[in-house]
A and B are shown apart, each in its own frame.
Chain A
């Protein structure tokens, strides 16, 4: 038992270190960066594109429980939520709450 739990702590520390490393290196390399420089603009584009890639992957090829709902239903829920977001003048409470309810309903009754 103690073996397993000291193992878990090590796993947590390794995970946290691997994660903090990217944040830390980000601060180091941005230290002298000018926000009007080309390189800053390039990094900005990459940051947005990487996030979009991550989110699109979460919807199209999800890991975990989400993969148990059909792709077409996931896409429908996303499109519906975006429509609500735009209709509700960019309020984020409605689309997020409704998306969970809608997905559960469609998943069970369709």
Chain B
């Protein structure tokens, strides 16, 4: 089973100075309010964050629902916008591998992978022994996931009190948090170059192809960084 010592150590990451709790809360409060405004009830809003737990995907879902597109179109749009989770999972799970740990832990806990939990785990994994990393990760993931779920409910309940100014204020917090975490992560050449190239290419490709811009920008930017960064 999951070792509670390492689980709680992971969970504690919510209390540290680089805690993702504020940024997550702001963005999921906004999602909760949005879901209420488009006609979801509170159980459905809860279920959405509980089962999806990926902000851009939930936004696309809300937009598609409003214009009334088909389920297959929703599937494709969400898959495309959340495809970043694939390289993110591939670049995290091998760091947590341990032969003695059961496989279900990996297949279940990948649901807890989001930008916030990923950035924290990438920053912290070296501080935990290989054997216990998966339990530590489950702690981090459970903490961020729970924060997102509770914030969705809070946003749903508060939606009548949130005016446009507040919604705009809430919307900037997440990009600011991610941007700062990424700058904090720039401690080797590969990562630094990847971040710089991605940040330039993402918006550039957006002008050409909005839907594919993040994948194109990310794959091209990452590949350039991989080659330019050299062997180290």
The yes or no verdict on A and B being binding partners is yes
Are B180 and A45 in contact, with the CB atoms below 8 A? no
- Among residues of B, the one whose C-beta sits closest to the C-beta of A38 is B226
**Total inter-chain residue pairs, C-beta < 8 Å:** 318
Interface residues on B, range: 35 or more
**Chain B nearest CB: distance from A41 CB in Å?**
6
Is B194 in the interface zone, CB < 8 Å from A?
yes
Are B175 and A26 in contact, with the CB atoms below 8 A? no
Bound: A78/B179 CA distance, A: 8
Are A48 and B84 in contact, with the CB atoms below 8 A? no
- Given contact pairs A12-B52, A15-B52, A35-B94, A65 touches B74 in the complex (Cβ within 8 A): no
**Chain A nearest CB: distance from B176 CB in Å?**
4
Is B214 in the interface zone, CB < 8 Å from A?
yes
Interface residues on A, range: 35 or more
- Tell me which of A11, A20, A47, A58 contacts B111 (CB under 8 A): A20
- Given contact pairs A35-B94, A99-B172, A104-B165, A49 touches B217 in the complex (Cβ within 8 A): yes
Bound: A19/B232 CA distance, A: 33
- Given contact pairs A34-B94, A48-B222, A96-B176, A14 touches B86 in the complex (Cβ within 8 A): no
Contacting B at CB under 8 A, from A13-51, are 13-27, 29-30, 33-35, 40-51
Tell me if B's interface is mostly helix, strand, loop or mixed. helix
Tell me if A's interface is mostly helix, strand, loop or mixed. helix
Are A92 and B180 in contact, with the CB atoms below 8 A? yes
Are A23 and B89 in contact, with the CB atoms below 8 A? yes
* Chain A residues positioned under 8 Å from B191 (CB to CB): 44-45, 48
- Given contact pairs A40-B91, A47-B88, A11 touches B65 in the complex (Cβ within 8 A): yes
Which stretch of B1-9, B53-61, B146-154 is in the interface? B53-61
Are B225 and A45 in contact, with the CB atoms below 8 A? yes
Are B194 and A19 in contact, with the CB atoms below 8 A? no
Are A22 and B17 in contact, with the CB atoms below 8 A? no
Interface residues of A (CB under 8 A from B): 4-5, 8-27, 29-30, 33-35, 40-66, 68-69, 74, 77-78, 81-82, 85-86, 90-93, 95-97, 99-101, 103-104, 107-108
User: When A and B form their complex, which 5 residue pairs have the shortest distance between CB atoms, in order from nearest?
Assistant: A26-B89, A53-B202, A50-B218, A52-B198, A49-B198
List 19 extra interface pairs beyond A46-B218, A46-B222, CB under 8 A: A8-B39, A14-B74, A15-B60, A30-B93, A42-B226, A47-B87, A49-B217, A49-B225, A50-B87, A50-B222, A51-B88, A51-B119, A52-B197, A55-B199, A57-B213, A68-B164, A77-B172, A92-B180, A101-B169
